[in-house]
Structure 1
Amino acid sequence: MNQPLIDRDQFTESSALTIETITHVHHWNESLFSLKMTRPASFRFRSGEFIMIGLPQENGKPLLRAYSMASPSYADELEFLSIKVQDGPLTSRLQHIKEGDPIYLGKKPTGTLVTDALLPGKRLFMLSTGTGLAPFMSLVRDPEVYGMYDEIIVVHSVRQVADLAYRELLESKLEGDPLLEDEDRERMIYVPTVTREPFRTQGRIQALIDDGRLFEQSKGPQRFIPDDDRVMLCGSMAMIKDHAADLERRGFTEGSNAQPGQFVIERAFVG
């Protein structure tokens, strides 16, 4: 698929974008893929943040969308997870990108799915659906996060088993990670669940919360405790709103960078 060319000469040091190079593309299935790109030496971000990436339009202007970094903050490359939308303005083209292709990258990462927006706690639950797993892949590989909590519980709900991106890595408890200690990896708990196919854990996240399956592997209480538990939400707009309302009914307060709380969502993706 032919892509409009990126004119590198139009960018200067003061530009809001840099031009990076795709280093790897992995297609998980027919509807899900991830990509890696070069990382500018000056690019810094907090695990859990997002950035604008994109491609040029026919008129030469950048077409940009917000994507959470799936790579940890110390990685040499930047990694992103995306769905394939056949008529999507950006993803219809981004899914055809290949190694060596240029891509736009913003310079100002931001976001609320960061530990700075949470009060101190004992357990950190990361509840995700679909590509909402991306920021949690960044966080779960960050050694600093393990110094803040006794347990890190990564929950990923998808429709089909093939949609469980990074499943092998998470099931291995991040085996081979260069910066995590063995005791860190043992504190990471992975809870995948599938809604439309047979799997060892089936059902939506709310069902796992209500019947206690979400907490089976935890050494802590078999329910949410507002004083001790912290929750991050990332997924569809409906999922985020439903779980945020449920947490508030349970006595949790939403946090932000300015006012840390007991749970956080990515406001930029919800509106």
Structure 2
Amino acid sequence: MNMHARPPIVLPEHPAFQTAAVRWVKHWNEHLFSFAIERPASFRFRAGEFVMIGLEGEGKPLMRAYSIASPTWSDEIEFLSIKVENGPLTSRLQLIQPGDQIYLGKKPTGTLVADALLPGKRLFLLSTGTGLAPFLSIARDPDTYDRFEQIVIVHSTRRVSDLAYHDELTAQLANDPLVADQALLQFHYIPTVTREPFRTSGRIGQLIENGWLFKAPVQGHPELNPETDRVMLCGSNAMIKDFAQMLEGHGFEEGSNANPGSFVLERAFVG
């Protein structure tokens, strides 16, 4: 049965973009939603990369960069998005339904990839808000578990309901067909909320300063160590700027695809 209350969105062809149909949409709360589109057979990406997506604008496609949340082996491409009431794209994107078409860029890219990091023992994925998205892809990539002994996602939000994917991450990706066994031993999830009561409260910087980040089950050095730890940053501009300075002060060096280092951030989203 077609549950559409309106005809599906069908986009005109465009030489720079391909079209893909929406498979599902999940609204976490009034500010946040996830959705997935069919993955074109020719579309390849590395875990952590982003791609341009959009809808038809005033006579031309209206496109924005979105990190890919799905693993590299999936037959769909998943995204996590905020809802901006008057946002040119998100005000319309939040209304999409299964069967609608959206535009998809042909070439994903990005610096938030394991190839930009030197080998290490612990991988810390530090995120705020929708900055969680690329880390969902990385944490569901079997290659990540071969590269690192421990993978730690830290997700900071203002409210409890903003903790998208909380249940799946708390369960250590138990339903993931390719990484469930390794994740049970190697994956750790630390959610923290800054403006509502929750079992963990405070910003990520506070969790590092007071040692909370390194309590069991996270094993090893009781602070960040540039010799063995690798860090990825994704989230608000303020968080990324502060953490990049802090990491460099502790001897970490920013990496890139051409010159791997001990931490990386997504330059494309930093103002």
Aligning the two structures, in what range does the TM-score lie when normalised by the shorter sequence?
over 0.9
Quote the offset at 1:6 in angstroms.
4.5
TM-score (norm 2): 0.95
* Partner residue in 1 for 2:232: 232
In angstroms, what is the RMSD of aligned CA positions?
Answer: 1.5
* Partner residue in 2 for 1:101: 100
Q: How does 1:117-266 map to 2 (within 5 A)?
A: 117-217=116-216, 218-266=218-266
The amino acid of 2:174's aligned partner reads E
SS at 1:147's partner residue?
helix
Cα distance in 2 between the residues matched to 1:183 and 1:65: 34
Quote the offset at 1:184 in angstroms.
3.4
1:111-162 deviation line (CA, Å, top 9, x unaligned): 0100000000000000000000000000000000000111000000000000
* Partner residue in 1 for 2:60: 61
Cα distance in 2 between the residues matched to 1:3 and 1:32: 24
CA contact (8 A) 2:152 2:189 kept: yes
* Partner residue in 2 for 1:35: 35
Q: What is the total number of aligned residue pairs between the two structures?
A: 266
CA contact (8 A) 2:9 2:99 kept: no
1:75-125 deviation line (CA, Å, top 9, x unaligned): 000000000000111001101111111100000000010000000000000
Cα distance in 1 between the residues matched to 2:161 and 2:114: 30
The amino acid of 2:118's aligned partner reads L
Cα distance in 2 between the residues matched to 1:87 and 1:152: 37
Cα distance in 2 between the residues matched to 1:109 and 1:16: 13
* Partner residue in 1 for 2:267: 267
The amino acid of 1:32's aligned partner reads L
Quote the offset at 1:215 in angstroms.
1.0
Cα distance in 1 between the residues matched to 2:11 and 2:154: 41
Q: How does 1:50-89 map to 2 (within 5 A)?
A: 50-57=50-57, 59-89=58-88
Quote the offset at 1:181 in angstroms.
4.7
Cα distance in 2 between the residues matched to 1:238 and 1:200: 24
Quote the offset at 1:16 in angstroms.
2.2
- Against the structure 1 CA distance between its residues 4 and 143, is the aligned structure 2 distance closer, same or farther, given a 3 Å change threshold? closer
1:54-73 deviation line (CA, Å, top 9, x unaligned): 0001x330000000000001
The amino acid of 1:176's aligned partner reads N
CA contact (8 A) 1:34 1:80 kept: yes
CA contact (8 A) 1:36 1:78 kept: yes
Q: Unmatched 5+ residue regions in structure 1?
A: none
Cα distance in 2 between the residues matched to 1:40 and 1:16: 15
Cα distance in 2 between the residues matched to 1:114 and 1:145: 10
Quote the offset at 1:186 in angstroms.
1.8
Quote the offset at 1:182 in angstroms.
1.5
- Against the structure 1 CA distance between its residues 7 and 26, is the aligned structure 2 distance closer, same or farther, given a 3 Å change threshold? closer
Q: Unmatched 5+ residue regions in structure 2?
A: none
SS at 2:137's partner residue?
helix
The amino acid of 2:228's aligned partner reads D
